[in-house]
Amino acid sequence: MDFKEIIYEKKDGVARITINRPEKYNACTTTTVSELAGALTDAWADREVGVVVLTGAGDKAFCTGGDQSIRDEGGYGGAMAALPLEVGWQQVSHLIRAIPKPVIARVNGYAIGGGHVFHVVCDLSIASEKAKFGQAGPRVGSFDPGFGTGDLARAVGMKRAKEIWFLCRQYTAQQALEMGLVNAVVPHEELDAEVAKWCKELLEKSPTAIKMLKYAFHGEIDGAIGVTNLGVGGLSMYYNTDESLEGKNAFMEKRKPDFSKYR
Ligand code: 2NE
């Protein structure tokens, strides 16, 4: 796949997606978010992929949200943008939560604004000691009305989530660990080894069990979409049964299906 603003690599069951705009601290444009959606969709479909890792290029930033230099009246990219960045952002956030495989945020530096939201919606976050965390919306004239509020509150509690959003402070990796915002913090030079260790452990587990657990975690809170994902996860297993195939075979053979032995 031909990407300009991300790097997409697949190796040994792991799909690694790197936001590749280090000179902008990995702030995203409308192109970046559309490429992120493309890579996540590919990782979803590829049966060789068991875990997805999301990270940023360089050692300064994981992602610092929307690229402020393309924000204008009407939003990022201006009113004429084909797909407004804020819409693409929610699509990427939704894909991270809906892909039936664990997504790990490899937080190598600043996770700020929408970049903080991306790590919040990932299933697991492994941080370098150098990482810094925080929201920026009320400081820079924006807000994320999507998953970045609810999922944050579920991670750290409502009072702390409101503090993070309203005050726009920055938090160290150690503070993030103490408030349950990340799963592990390691010295910067050990980040890749630690992420690889978590990937290996995940890849040894039952993918279907992990898929259904992920959907169950979200099913409770995502309303109709959560129930749909949980149901469709079950449907893909049902398709593999003789009972389901009997319905398809009967249709193709122009006969009445016989489901009697599956009661
Ligand atoms: C991240 C932070 C705190 C880092 O501060 P510092 O002082 O260490 O670095 P500096 O000099 O501010 O940034 C380094 C370079 O990266 C660019 C800067 O402009 C600078 O470039 P040069 O001046 O060296 O050329 N840079 C960093 N973040 C950028 C950004 N988001 N857009 C464009 N360029 C960026 C500090 O840089 C900071 O606070 N950054 C701004 C964070 C921010 O405003 N994010 C957007 C929040 S809103 C959002 O993400 C969003 C939305 O509004 C709607 C939907 C979805 C998401």
pLDDT at residue 152, as a whole number: 98
Q: Could you identify the atom of ligand 1 that is nearest to the CA of residue 114? A: 50
CATH of the domain spanning 207-254: 1.10.12.10
What's the helix, strand, coil split of the chain in %, to 5? 50, 20, 30
Q: Whose C-alpha lies nearest to ligand 1, atom 47?
A: 113
Structure tokens at 170: 């920055």
pLDDT-derived band at 128 (thresholds 50, 70, 90) equals very high
Widest CA span in the chain: 67
Contact 157, 166 (CB under 8 A): no
Domain residue ranges in the chain: 6-203, 207-254
Q: What top-level class would CATH report for the domain 6-203?
A: alpha beta
Q: Please name which of 182, 249, 201 lies closest in space to residue 50, comparing C-alpha atoms.
A: 201
The rounded percent of the chain whose pLDDT value lies above 70 is 98
Rounded to the nearest integer, the mean pLDDT of the chain is 95
Q: Whose C-alpha lies nearest to ligand 1, atom 34?
A: 24
Whole-angstrom distance, CA of residue 126 vs CA of residue 194: 8
pLDDT tens across 100-116, in order? 999 999 999 999 999 99
pLDDT tens across 180-223, in order? 999 999 999 999 999 999 999 999 999 999 999 999 999 989 99
Measure 204 CA to ligand 1 centroid, in angstroms.
38
- For ligand 1, residues with CB inside 6 Å are 24-25, 27, 64-69, 85-86, 89, 110, 112-114, 136-137, 140, 142, 144
pLDDT at residue 79, as a whole number: 66
Contact 141, 162 (CB under 8 A): no
pLDDT-derived band at 257 (thresholds 50, 70, 90) equals very high
Cβ neighbours of residue 58 under 8 Å, at least 6 residues apart?
A: 22, 26, 108, 109
Q: Is the pLDDT confidence value at 82 over 70?
A: yes
Beta bridge partners of 191: none
